[in-house]
Amino acid sequence: MKFYGTMMCPDTVYADKILRENNINVEYVDIVANMKNLKEFLSLRDSKEEFASIKENGKAGVPAFLLDDGSIEFDVHKLEGVAPRKEEDMEPGAQTCSIDGGGC
């Protein structure tokens, strides 16, 4: 599984924390580390239907998880081996990286 994100995004930071707590190994791709990573993410974002509503809502689409079967998941808690989200798990400041405060 690949995990696309940037640590500038509170949702990515939160997802990374949850993955570490659950000992889930992923290939992390920092989309702002270099042009190769950004182009890889944008190619995925532009070719996968799962990103349609994300783009319509003006969001970047991170964190995004490319699963082994080629599907995309955006919620870390829906990944195999990760417990469902609890209200107390929500990070302060999460969902604030877009202009409207609606997330990444």
Residue 101 has pLDDT above 70, yes or no: no
Considering the domain boundaries, does residue 86 fall inside one?
no
Angle, CA of 35, 68 and 39, to the nearest 5°: 10
3-state helix, strand, coil in the chain (%, to 5): 40, 10, 50
Residue 32 corresponds to which amino acid? V
39-52 pLDDT, tens digit each: 999 999 999 999 99
- State which residues form the domain around 15: 2-78
Number of domains the chain is built from: 1
What is the enclosing helix (H) or strand (E) of 11? helix 10-21
**Per-residue pLDDT reduced to its tens digit, 48-72:** 999 999 999 999 999 999 999 999 9
pTM for the complete prediction? 0.84
Q: What is the mean pLDDT of the chain?
A: 88
102: in domain: no
Characterize the bridge pairing of strands 2-5 and 72-73. unpaired
- pLDDT value of residue 98: 59
Whether 12 is in a domain gets the answer: yes
Give me the mean pLDDT over the 79-95 stretch: 68
* Residue 84 belongs to some domain of the structure: no
What CATH number did the domain enclosing 16 receive?
3.40.30.10
In a domain, 22, yes or no: yes
- Summarize the confidence of residues 9-14 as an average pLDDT: 94
Using 50, 70 and 90 to split pLDDT, how confident is the model at 86?
A: confident
